[in-house]
Amino acid sequence: MHPDTLTRFRPIRFAVLMYAALSFGAAQAAEEDVVMYKDPNCGCCGQWAEHLRTNGFSVQEVATRDMAAIKREAGLPPELASCHTARVGGYVVEGHVPAADIRRLLAERPSVAGLSAPGMPLGSPGMEGPYPAESYRVLSFESDGRTAVFAEH
């Protein structure tokens, strides 16, 4: 082999490695892109979005007056409803689910439709305030309506 052979191919090898690194970064970034549907008059939804942004997620807020249709299209069982509905990494995330739980969901990739923090638990992300925080559960749910406890807070 000629001594210049390795030198000549070094830029190509570098380009391939850079492409692979950028592709991985883009895939990871896309995994953390959150699209959140909310009522235009809801303040706590924006606070939850800020909680996610603070924790490294990219959040697109979509205001809509037809949240019932969004929840139906997402296959969300009515008993799991909260004020906002989001999509991230192929999952539905309903309500004030902490960013750490979403990270765990994306890391473990369980065979579920999504997560929900039903209602609006006091002290959950976006629902902080001067009142005492309450304990609450984040539930995983499947498209057939079955649920399981994913996390307790």
Task: Give the pTM.
Answer: 0.79
- From the CA atom positions of the chain, what is the Rg in Å? 20
Residue 93: beta bridge partners?
86, 115
Q: Which residue's structure tokens are 């579920």?
A: 112
Give the C-alpha separation, 77 to 97, whole Å: 16
- 33-152: CATH topology: Glutaredoxin (3.40.30)
CA angle 122/139/145 to nearest 5° reads: 130
Closest by CA to 75, choosing from 139, 150, 142, 137, is 142
CA atoms of 128 and 47, how far apart (whole Å):
9
pLDDT of residue 32: 77
Tell me what pLDDT residue 21 has.
43
* Residue-level pLDDT, tens digit, the chain, 153 residues: 555 544 444 444 444 444 444 444 444 445 679 999 999 998 899 999 999 999 999 999 999 999 999 999 999 999 999 999 999 999 999 999 999 999 999 999 999 999 999 999 999 999 999 999 999 999 999 989 899 999 999
Half-sphere exposure of 76 (CA within 13 A, CB side): 29
pLDDT reported for residue 145? 87
Where do the structural domains in the chain lie, given as residue ranges?
1-31, 33-152
pLDDT score for 43? 86
Q: How many residues does the chain have?
A: 153
Q: Report the C-alpha gap between 98 and 67 in whole angstroms.
A: 21
